[in-house]
Chain A
Amino acid sequence: MFWGSRKTIDMNYFPDEVLEHVFDFITSHKDRNSVSLVCKSWYKIEKYSRQRVFLGNCYSISPERLIARFPGLKSLTLKGKPHFADFNLVPDDWGGFLYPWIKAMAKSRIGLEELRLKRMVVSDESLELLSESFPNFKSLVLVSCEGFTTDGLAAIAANCRFLRELDLQENEVEDHRGYWLSCFPESCTSLVSLNFACLKGEINLASLERLVARSPNLKSLRLNRAVPFDTLQRLLIRAPQLVDLGTGSYIHDPSSEAYNKLKAAIQNCNSIRSLSGFLEVAPCCMPAIYPICENLTFLNLSYAAGLQSNELTRLIHHCRKLQRLWILDCIGDKGLGVVASTCKELQELRVFPSDPFDAGNAAVTEEGLVLVSAGCPKLNSLLYFCQQMTNAALITVAKNCTNFIRFRLCILDPIKPDPVTNQPLDEGFGAIVRSCKGLKRLSLSGLLTDQVFYYIGMYAKKLEMLSIAFAGNSDKGMLYVLNGCKKLRKLEIRDCPFGDTALLEDMGKYETMRSLWMSTCEVTLGACKVLAKKMPSLNVEIINESEQTEFNLDDRQKVDKIDGPLSFTAPSGQETWCFYKVMIPVSKVGIAKPVVIMRSEKYTQMVTVDGHDFWFIGFVNYEKASV
């Protein structure tokens, strides 16, 4: 290109509209961020043409700042609570509220069309305001959220005239019975995706049938437990074009007419590629779905507790094209053998425990995993809850499958060693990281020493996320990881003997990461203060969950939890420190509310640079980056 030889770049050569058109082809967040760094002109064009924004942490930027930065925002993805909130390790009142975002976007008349939320607190009030403020709103996806009732859904149904997608995944929703579905006006015919499987209450079945009947574009439908077999049959007749189906209750008499009708209806649904649900199920009715099994690419039976191993395997026999399988461990090792011999296209396998609290009965062991690894060469993503694991098995798996991107193993009994050799599982996981050069996400379990972290630091060069529990012997373990894993972005640790030395040795490392979580480790308050003082761009949150009524300010005291970087807007009543997050002594037993004072000028500058997550611990050359 000719401008390589010039000293100054004259971007006025191309009119803005041309550049904008070119940028339209750049969809990855990372790339768009890079584009905005090139020069002032590109920054401006990119800024006004940016429609999709992803925030890995909703506290990394204020809503007002986001809106000022990207006034053309149409699609927003927000993540709230840290991952370990899924396991009750984060206090309930930690935060992650949606309302401030809706309020700010409504006030600035943002033309919001899509909202995707994960682990956020969503109130009915925010849903109502959302439904009234954005006339072009099309898509709402809520994953693992809480705080709302079906009244909020009613507002969405009633007011979002062009709604295409309402997708509720695993949310805790207070159910005020099924009238919300009737709130979709007769004029609403635009639905493409409707998923209410996580709702617990009754549904107005007649309204549902009418809604499906007038939604010719409906491709994805996931029902809840309250939708019975008969209704399912009638819905399938109205929507043979479905691509993704989640059944509700699937119980009937196989000799009945209704069953025969369903069989016929399903045979017409030859576009279905994804099947889930069976929240209540009569095994004898499963043969009705065999005809569509051959086309399935995704099968999720992880909530189908009513199916036993033999029924599951009978079903799996028909699913030759399966790419993703989510299943309960009652399938057993033998059942996994059937998966291995049938599903040659399998890429992702998730095996959940049917009885999480009784580890002695977990029905799968290392044998099932070895079988799948041998039979499914395309396997690249694993979540496996099992009773036990051996080094030999992991080594074999590593040999069989070198393509793992995600490898998450959970041995239900923590710190359980290899039952055959009584050794830690260091060698097994070591083999995995050595063999799977593309590994991005790893979760460890079982008995593990510092050695496994040595291997991880040495070999897991592409690793981005690591989850550790009850592992390691000393600070060395954590240091191996921090020093070796250059691409590490998220590190979450619980109940490990890692302490101040590990935390403070290479603080600059945190500037390249998104987040660090440490709970019930050996980190002291003093070390947290040091970290926060030395790295002012980091936001360090300390959560004190002890039963002390007065917060003990002794530096030697071990903190229960530290995570960062996060930021909060500061309510009044802060303590004397002004560099970092501050604890307010609790008057009630239990949770201390963390507070931070943000240094807004620096914050603003950091934000203009990194569009990706708006979420980074520090930015080394922000002077250079801000244009």
Chain B
Amino acid sequence: MEGSVAYDNDLNLKATELRLGLPGTHEEQQAVSSSTVRNNKRPNGESDARNETAPPPKAQIVGWPPIRSYRKNNSQPKKTESEGVGIYIKVSMDGAPYLRKIDLKVYSGYPELLQAVENMFKFTIGEYSEREGYKGSDYAPTYEDKDGDWMLVGDVPWEMFITSCKRLRIMKGSEARGLGCGV
């Protein structure tokens, strides 16, 4: 749209601009943020050098919109995926009479998830270590991933886990110990 025209005016915004996007992306940003009003809403009024130029592209203006830096740096961007839908998965525990369901989205990481599962089934999972799985108890939390394989909970980053986990199974006894060792 405005391209380089906006930069040839007295305001010389470019010299003082603080880039908000990655270098080289500003053309892209202008195309993306194409609000319809930009096209024909030139400022009217008395002749003034300013009026003859297009309004500066909004992504480029230093200090605009006037929001405190702290707020700008610390507000999370809007999430684009649908917020209302949870990721419900079945949770089974060896020896338990029935299964439960939980919403993985509610938890922010493994500790909360495991705590919740512990509470749900009234048991304790051991300490996780990369080398030896869950030590200190007869249980091991496992999950079925998209490929149909049974994996130990905790190996992959959380975000990856919640997208690939199809169901959860708390293994017990010798089967659990077998999974945790020598992998």
**A interface vs B, CB < 8 Å?**
84, 86-89, 144, 170-172, 198, 228, 249, 251-254, 256-258, 280, 282-285, 302-303, 305-306, 308, 328, 330, 352-361, 385, 388, 410, 412-417, 419, 422, 424, 443, 447, 449-450, 467, 469-470, 473-474, 494-495, 497, 520, 545-547, 558, 560
Contact = CB atoms under 8 A, between A and B. Distances in A.
B58 A414 contact: yes
B174 interface: no
A430 to B, nearest CB: 16
Interface in B46-66: 46, 48-51, 55-56, 58-59, 61-66
Contact of B66 (A86, A285, A520, A560): A86
A449 B45 contact: yes
Contacts of B64: 87, 414, 469
B62 to A, nearest CB: 6
B46 to A, nearest CB: 5
A308 B16 CA distance: 36
Contacts of B78: 305, 330, 354-355, 361
Given A308-B83, A353-B65, A520-B11, A413 B76 contact: no
B4 interface: no
A414 B61 contact: yes
Contact of A306 (B61, B76, B119, B120): B76
B71 A170 contact: yes
A360 B35 contact: yes
Given A353-B67, A416-B41, A474-B48, A253 B103 contact: yes
A416 B36 CA distance: 11
A303 B67 CA distance: 13
A88 B69 contact: yes
A310 B102 CA distance: 23
A308 B50 contact: no
B112 to A, nearest CB: 7
Contact of A84 (B10, B13, B56, B63): B63
A546 B66 CA distance: 22
Given A305-B75, A358-B33, A424 B44 contact: yes
20 contacts: A251-B106, A252-B112, A258-B115, A285-B106, A303-B75, A305-B77, A352-B71, A352-B75, A353-B67, A354-B77, A359-B65, A385-B65, A410-B66, A413-B58, A415-B43, A416-B37, A416-B41, A417-B37, A424-B43, A473-B46
Contact of A253 (B49, B75, B102): B102
Please provide the 5 A-B residue pairs with the shortest distance between their CB atoms, ordered closest to farther: A87-B63, A305-B76, A170-B70, A86-B68, A89-B63
Nearest to A494: B63
A356 B77 CA distance: 9
Contacts of A228: 112
B42 to A, nearest CB: 9
B119 A469 contact: no
A43 B127 CA distance: 71
B59 A198 contact: no
A356 B67 contact: yes
B107 interface: yes
Interface residues of B, number: 57
A254 B102 CA distance: 10
Contacts of A358: 33
B166 interface: no
Contacts of B76: 305-306
A547 B76 CA distance: 34
A88 B62 contact: yes
A499 to B, nearest CB: 11
Contacts of A252: 106-107, 112
A79 B23 CA distance: 35
Contact of A172 (B51, B55, B70, B120): B70
Contacts of B20: 357
Nearest to B72: A356
A303 B74 contact: yes
Interface string B127-148: 0000000000000000000000
A172 B73 CA distance: 10
Contacts of A282: 105-106
A447 B43 contact: yes
B95 interface: no
Given A357-B20, A447-B43, A546-B15, A251 B62 contact: no
B106 A359 contact: no
A424 B41 contact: no
Nearest to A198: B70
Given A357-B59, A414-B61, A249 B108 contact: yes
Nearest to A89: B63
Given A198-B74, A306-B79, 9 more contacts: A87-B63, A87-B64, A171-B70, A256-B119, A284-B106, A360-B33, A417-B43, A422-B41, A443-B66
Contacts of A558: 10
B71 A88 contact: no
Contacts of B16: 520, 545, 560
Nearest to A169: B70
Interface in B70-102: 70-79, 83-84, 86, 102
A359 B116 contact: no
A320 to B, nearest CB: 26
B18 interface: yes
B33 A356 contact: no
A494 B13 CA distance: 12
Contacts of A416: 37, 41
